[in-house]
Structure 1
């Protein structure tokens, strides 16, 4: 079932991010709003859109999260390979995404101290970019 879900989630999340899906959703809402006078703006009429949007939103959360998890894992693999392949790259950085947030902050702060970049504006390249604004 895991493979089926991953394939389904990948296809749905890719489709949901395209303009035609937005147009379809917009047309559904316009159709619903236009049908209001026919149904007398009844509670049932309102319940249809409320229930529909709630169910779609609830299900899309899981599909989008699956896609984000997959993308993050792929990016992490690529970064790990870059670290491994670079001369002078520190292999101990491979897998740090599994550390607690507190530990990651400590590593970041240590790197900033090590390279003298406690204030990112001190870095000349970043300073030039900031000055362009």
Structure 2
């Protein structure tokens, strides 16, 4: 995938989000760290549809769903405020699925790529390689 200049890359898992902006000129990628926002997962309310049971033995899943909803809410707000024009999301498959449930139409139109990979703990070089290979 060719990542346009100034595109935002969000790398997400169920506990954290890292944001980057591409400062490189096409076709080169130079990922620059962006400050991580303070998210309020408890207010997202996504996890209310999951109950602890034998199919879902702990509250970890609820917390991860709430965090994904909070990430989507933040990204929606950035897109609606025109601070994100193009976005690539990289998240583990389960988190990516939960994120998609909360995307606003404006954000969906600005998505230029989605990668179902867990790269949250990886260095920017690994993230760049995954984008290039996509």
TM-score by length of 2: 0.24
When Rg is computed on C-alpha atoms for both structures, the one with the higher figure is 1
Structure with the largest fraction of strand = 2
From the two aligned structures, give the one with the greater helix fraction: 1
